[in-house]
Amino acid sequence: MSRSIAYHASPLLASKTPVWRSKFIVACLGLAFLGLGGRAAYVQVVGNDFFQRQGEVRFARTLELPANRGRVLDRNGMILASSVAAQSIWAIPEDVDKDHPNLDKVARLLGIKPADLRKRLSDEDKTFVWVKRQVDESVAKEVAELGVKGIYLRKDYKRQYPEGEAAAHIVGFTNVEDVGQEGVELTFNKRLSGTPGSRRVIKDRLGRVIEDVRDAIPPVDGPDLQLSIDSKIQFFAHQKLREAVETNKAKAGSVVVMDVHTGEVLALANYPTYNPNHRENLSGEQLRNRALTDTFEPGSTMKPITVAMALEAGRITPQTIIDTNPGRYTMGGFTINDTHNYGVLTVEGVIQKSSNVGSIKIAQRMSAREMWDTYTALGYGQKPQIEFPGAVSGRVRAWKSWRPIEQATMSYGYGLSASLFQMVQSYTALANDGYVVPATMLKSHDPVVGRRVFSAQTAAASRKMLEMAAGPGGTGQKAQTVGYSVGGKSGTARKQVGKGYATNKYRAWFTGMAPIDKPRIVVGVMVDEPSAGVYYGGLVAAPVFSETVQQALRIMGVQPDMSVKPQIVMQPVEESF
């Protein structure tokens, strides 16, 4: 039995509804659907590109696929720098439980103070923050096993330098972004870096990849870079330099070994140095590549250049008599002294005894322009054309402004400045039959044609004088080595302080070549501020030259040109400075 609705019992139901109201409601519903349809059409058709972009901004990411940085190799293929797999730790701060019991353990594993880690994670607005870059795989694995929510791992690469301190100033290092900061890592950064690839993906809020949008573009790894450096010679030169600096309680030192035929730099070492694998608390003293960036007055090592100039100009011969009496020379209100009164010397004797007075009298036979032209041809006062950052030009003033006293002091290495690298390169003109060779840090397979500065006869005569200077009666007797004939010149220069010279601060130099008849290498050594009682270049720098030459020539396979027997080395003659 059905019950009928009693409309008369309810005033609301009994009232008549206006027809327009139902039509209005239907119209509103129709307009709403029409608006939704229009909006959908706008989103899907008219504004499709805009909304696609907005969606991609929020979810789509272009991931860079890093290229593996090229290795740095020595001339024999030994690795000087390479990239190894590592892990970087990152976090989503808002997801990390700051009270998690393992958070302090994460900090300790990463070498971070727990308070510093919490401070790094304190910004709740951040969705990404680096916790520690380039962590060893073993450490990263321990961090992952702690299971702290919001802390994640990302594959990375870490640069390693097997030769450590020995090759630090050559190779340099990269930062955490694998960008070169020093040395050849900086100079050849673009070449070593290669070309990164890319991958377009959609990620969720946790950074997890959900799907690829398009095919990945693979990275192109950087090519290997082969240097001219011989890592064995480099290591030995570094060791002997360090011993000399420490033994003589010196401030610093440098050594450069260059191949006479190719201009290749076989070794370039400085001390103090640093370990590029552990660069905490580095100082400017450690980072300075002194052989290239520091300039000094070269002292007596410039005398063979002065003599070679005069020989080439025809003003003297090796046997020309030079009267150095009474062991001092006064001009322009200044007095220049020799350590002894050597009396009458030949030109060869001037170099052998390192006479300042003799050098001045030889220089006076030339014009300022002639000397300046030769300095310039040898590379003094000009930035070395070498693939390396920070090389400096030194200073040689324009010849028109020279006073007579300045021309005189330049003849024995004062009044101009040069780096150790420039000095070594200039000596290649004496070693290479008059041609100064262009220097390079990259391995070269062919002999180079340098720029002629002296004739072969002048170069040969100069080498004989250098042999005498390193032999009995000379200032560089401690440069003698077993099995190989050597020649070279020591130098001891007072350090400039303000407008004058210090009375107790010196730089000790020795630059020479071997074997002397047909030189294969030129080696330069500088020790800054030796303070253990001896400071002459013949006593401080020459022994480093001797040991470096012997080891380098043996490694290079150069046959000894002298009978291999212990040599008696006399006490070197004190050099003038």
Annotated catalytic residues are 300
CA–CA gap between residue 233 and residue 231 (Å, rounded): 6
CA–CA gap between residue 382 and residue 535 (Å, rounded): 29
**In contact, 135 and 89? CB cutoff 8 Å:** yes
Sequence-ordered alpha helix ranges (H) in 231-346: 231-247, 284-287, 290-293, 303-313
Which of 19, 465, 556, 14 minimizes the C-alpha distance to 234?
Answer: 556
Residues 6+ apart with CB under 8 A from 177: none
**In contact, 538 and 477? CB cutoff 8 Å:** yes
Burial of 198 (0-12, 13-18, 19+ CB in 10 A): middle
CA–CA gap between residue 236 and residue 232 (Å, rounded): 6
* Rama region for 230: left / alpha / beta (φ>0; ψ in -120 to 50; rest): beta
In degrees, to the nearest 5, what angle opens at C-alpha 261 toward C-alphas 258 and 267? 20
HEC secondary structure over 170-236? HHCCECCCCCECCHHHHHCHHHHHCECEEEEEEECCCCCEEEECCCCECCECCCCEEECCCHHHHHH
Q: What is the DSSP string of 105-142?
A: HHHHHTT--HHHHHHHT--TT-S-EEEEEEE-HHHHHH
Look-up: residue for tokens 């808002």? Answer: 94
Sign of the C-alpha dihedral computed for residues 74, 77, 78 and 84 taken in this order: positive
Count of helix runs (H) and strand runs (E) in the chain:
21, 19
Encoding tokens for residue 59? Answer: 């979810």
CA–CA gap between residue 493 and residue 423 (Å, rounded): 14
Residue 235 to residues 166, 167, 290, 380, 444: CA-CA distances in angstroms? 5, 7, 17, 29, 21
Encoding tokens for residue 473? Answer: 């009666």
Which of 162, 183, 163 minimizes the C-alpha distance to 174?
Answer: 183
CA–CA gap between residue 453 and residue 439 (Å, rounded): 16
**In contact, 256 and 241? CB cutoff 8 Å:** no
Reported as type and span, the H/E element at residue 376 is helix 368-377
Encoding tokens for residue 537? Answer: 């270049």
Residues 6+ apart with CB under 8 A from 105: 146
**In contact, 525 and 253? CB cutoff 8 Å:** yes
